[in-house]
Chain A
Amino acid sequence: ETGVTQSPTHLIKTRGQQVTLRCSSQSGHNTVSWYQQALGQGPQFIFQYYREEENGRGNFPPRFSGLQFPNYSSELNVNALELDDSALYLCASSFSLGGEQYFGPGTRLTVT
């Protein structure tokens, strides 16, 4: 059974640009959640997708958006990048909405 994978591993973008991060969920999992982790902090919930629909959102602006595909893989898109968007972005999948969440290794985004 493959675990959660994320791509790319690292990314450097310039302020104002747009970025897309990708996540492949663990086999059999239909729910994907995205988290942002700033340096020295715990992960903060961005949003969750369940069966291709957004199912909840944390305190993040609309320039953070996402998609979930029929195979339950997911994308996180961030528009108009700001310096404070520099962080580790984590994807987690679960078998169901309330199930244990299993995290990928993350994508380290640096905005300059």
Chain B
Amino acid sequence: DAKTTQPPSMDCAEGRAANLPCNHSTISGNEYVYWYRQIHSQGPQYIIHGLKNNETNEMASLIITEDRKSSTLILPHATLRDTAVYYCIVRGFISGNTPLVFGKGTRLSVIA
């Protein structure tokens, strides 16, 4: 079962920042927070991941609380092409089998 809780849906105005929350209160010390998104009928796309420090790349920023029990994915200037289902995933980073365990994600709708 997924170890994360996300709101089922969110709306965001085009050009504004989209802030997607995720709760992972049972996360362990060696587990990372991963974010993927899935645009309709396509394969999931990797966005970003982090352990405890905030992370930023060309797509998004990931803010992880100090106690690591929750995080927020930030899309700084959302566009219509960012409309997708966003999955927050907790994943152990050890050698061996570490599959991604997907929940139902958050359906983000970017509105013009």
Contacts and interface: CB of A to CB of B under 8 A. Distances in A.
Contacts of A92: 43-44, 100
Interface of B: 2, 34, 41-46, 49, 87, 93-105
Contact of A98 (B2, B41, B98): B98
Contact of B43 (A4, A42, A55, A56): A4
Given A42-B87, A98-B94, A90 B44 contact: yes
A92 to B, nearest CB: 8
A106 B99 contact: no
Contact of A56 (B42, B96, B103, B105): B96
A103 B45 contact: yes
B48 to A, nearest CB: 10
B6 to A, nearest CB: 10
Contact of A105 (B34, B42, B97, B104): B42
Q: By DSSP majority rule, is chain B's interface helix, strand, loop, or mixed?
A: loop
A1 interface: no
Interface residues on A, range: 20 to 34
A30 to B, nearest CB: 13
A42 B46 contact: no
B108 to A, nearest CB: 15
Nearest to B44: A103
Contact of A42 (B2, B45, B93, B99): B2
A102 B94 contact: no
A43 B44 contact: yes
A5 B93 CA distance: 26
A84 interface: no
Nearest to A88: B41
Given A41-B104, A102-B46, A105-B43, 9 more contacts: A33-B100, A42-B102, A42-B103, A48-B99, A90-B44, A97-B96, A101-B46, A103-B45, A106-B43
A110 interface: no
A95 interface: no
B101 A90 contact: no
Given A42-B2, A42-B104, A33 B44 contact: no
